[in-house]
Amino acid sequence: MNLDEYNVFCRSLPATTHVVQWHHSHVWKIGGKVFAIGRLNREGQPAFTFKTSPLNFDFLSEQPGYRPAPYFASRGMKWIQHDKSTADTDEALMYYLSESYRIVSLGLSRRTQRELGLNQPPLP
C-alpha cells in the first residue's frame, strides 16, 4: 500500500477527517482523535501507524514488518507501526486500520458517537 492508497482507504471510513502534520504525516482522525498516521520513512518507503488491541499489539510486535510505534509505545500506548508494506500485507493492513478506527470510535463520548452516527444500535 502506498500513501495514496492509504488515504483513499481511510477516507472511505465514515466521519473521518484528514490533516497533514508532524513532518508531512497524513493523519486520519475520527471525532478529533487520531486513528492512523501514514508517512514516508527515512528510506522513502511508506510507514503506517495505528492503534491496536492489547492482544494484537503483542502479536504484531513479533511479526516481520511490524514494530511498537516509536513515541506512542514508549509511553505505554498500544500503537504499532508497519513499514514493510507489500501486496501480500495490504489486506491485513486494511483490517488493522479498520480496527484502529473502531477502537478509537468506541472511545469517543456517546454524544460524539451519536453526532457522527457511529456505533448506534439499529432502529427497531
Tens-place pLDDT, residues 20-47 = 998 899 999 999 999 999 999 888 889 9
Q: Is residue 47 part of a domain?
A: yes
Give the count of domains, the chain: 1
- Domain residues for the domain of 39 are 3-116
- The pLDDT of residue 57 is above 90: yes
Q: Which of 46, 44, 54 is nearest to 80 (CA)?
A: 54
Q: Is residue 48 part of a domain?
A: yes
The confidence score (pLDDT) of residue 1 equals 92
- The pLDDT of residue 48 is above 90: yes
- The pLDDT of residue 104 is above 70: yes
CA distance 106 to 53: 12
DSSP E strand stretches across the chain: 16-21, 25-30, 33-40, 46-51, 66-68, 79-82
CATH value at residue 37: 3.90.1150.30
Q: What is the pTM of this model?
A: 0.90
- The pLDDT of residue 105 is above 80: yes
Q: Read off the pLDDT of each residue in 101-122 and give the average, rounded to a whole number.
A: 89
